[in-house]
Structure 1
């Protein structure tokens, strides 16, 4: 099941986030050999300080077995600020209707020990579950497209899973030890249905927040954001709105938070 962790509820799930960061270190540094920042066994970067959304996949014991980070393209993101060479001089996507999907990783070692099934496309259930969740979560938020910086290996995984990009930005570019690409993926019912069919995923993939807190939340909670902090954040969002769509989205969020 997938737990959604964001800037509003992250104080409940610090342990799950730490597990996610530790998994990222094992995958990106130890397995793939990427040059990433790892401290105390956890891989993090500056984008983790921006209150991103993290989709976390949990096994039956409550352990993190996969995760993905989602960033808004209206602010700092990896394609615009780290991998912009891919774009060949073209501007990075900037829209509240486009999200950036980053840091998708799966604990293949644990899954092999627990006998996690693979779909008929040979992709692990957890990988497909995260992809389904990301697409459905984006659609619920009104997001139309996602951009993802990937390497050729992940590009093949996306194609096998039924989640192939419908287009690419810029050109494949050498980045250290890997070749980086920027893929565009629509967030649509058609994509969700294709993912679910290839992985035989049925029913709701999300664990409700109340259940997640009860079952997997931290026993010692960090302070939740204060009203002053939330008011400041909302004020900044209103001031940053560039069009009617941005303004309506911010007003909708304010209304939800005041329920």
Structure 2
């Protein structure tokens, strides 16, 4: 279907066109679809304060060059969403560590979504996320997400710790999580989505 590409500051020029499409889809999903007006801009690109040279993007690119899904990783040693916007979700003390990255902007292209259940495309992005973390030496992830995500991730076999209480926010009920990265979580996620042992990342077969 598609594979994920790891894009950072060192290779972003190679993916310049794909990154622009990625930011346009983020605008369609978060600004137009979810009505996140606080991140609306005069141009149809959803780029926030954490899209810096330190950000790592996981771009799902299909055979036609279309963006099928994506995620973003931001080092917690630098400014990030939990530390700068929602520290209250971690009781005022967001964790920081060299091997701890914040996971944000997970999405699947609307055409690949399925009604009432998670699509295989979501499984590819989630497996690619875990594979990328294992490859990059990322041992833990923090994430600010809707309050239904902890149960969903635990169903996949992920080790999840809630960092604080649920917050009623204009964009929904949100919570902060700490996720442990492991090969066991990757394998159980592959099984859940029926993906076998094929890598979701480019160049790792």
| TM, length-normalised to structure 1 | 0.71
- Inter-CA distance 175–163: structure 2 relative to 1 (3 Å threshold): farther
Cα distance in structure 2, aligned partners of 1:65 and 1:182? 26
- Partners of 2:33 and 2:150 in 1: how far apart? 17
In terms of fraction of residues, the more helix-rich structure is 1
Deviation, structure 1 residue 11: 1.0
Counterpart position of 1:14: 16
* SS in structure 2 at match of 1:171: coil
* Cα 1:163/1:78, change in 2 over 3 Å: farther
Q: Deviations over 1:168-211 (max 9, x none)?
A: 101111232322211121110110011000011131211239xx
Matched, 1:81 2:84: yes
Superposition pairs for residues 153-164 of structure 1, below 5 Å?
153-155=148-150, 157-159=152-154, 162=156, 164=158
Give me the whole-angstrom Cα distance separating, in 1, the residues matched to 2:30 and 2:159. 22
The verdict on how the C-alpha distance between 1:159 and 1:22 changes in structure 2, with shifts beyond 3 A counting, is farther
Determine the structure 2 residue equivalent to 1:145: 140
Aligned-pair distance for 1:76? 0.8
Query: How much does 1:43 deviate?
Result: 0.5
Structure 1 position 158, deviation (Å): 3.2
Q: 1:46 to 1:171 in 2, by over 3 A?
A: same
- 1:26 and 1:137 map into 2 onto residues whose CA distance is 26
- Residues 138-147 or 97-106, more deviating: 138-147
Long gaps (5+) in structure 2? none
- Partner residue in 2 for 1:207: 202
1:184 correspondence with 2:185: no
Q: In the alignment, is the contact (CA less than 8 A) between 1:97 and 1:143 conserved in 2?
A: yes
- Residue 133 (structure 1) aligned with residue 128 (structure 2): yes
The structure in which a higher percent of residues are strand is 2
Counterparts of 1:154 and 1:25 in 2: how far apart (Å)? 22
What is the CA distance between 1:107 and its match in structure 2? 1.1
- Return the offset for 1:155: 4.2
Partner SS state of residue 58, structure 2 = strand
Aligned to 1:169: 163
Deviations 1:128-173 (A, max 9, x none): 111111111111222221111101244454355x165521101111
Query: Structure 1, residues 187-246: CA drift from partner, whole Å, max 9, x if none?
Result: 10110011000011131211239xxxxxxxxxxxxxxxxxxxxxxxxxxxxxxxxxxxxx
- How far apart are residue 66 of structure 1 and its match? 0.8
Task: Give RMSD over aligned pairs.
Answer: 2.1
In the comparison of the two structures, how many residue pairs are matched?
199
1:96 aligns with 2:91: no
Partner of residue 118 from structure 2, selected from 95, 118, 123: 123
Is contact 2:154-2:160 (8 Å) kept?
no
The TM-score with structure 2 as length reference comes to 0.88
Residues 55, 170 of structure 1: alpha-carbon distance in 2 compared, 3 angstrom cutoff: same
Alignment partner, residue 246 of structure 1? none
Contact residue 100 and residue 147 of structure 1 kept, 8 A: yes
The whole-number CA distance in structure 1 between the counterparts of 2:148 and 2:41 is: 23
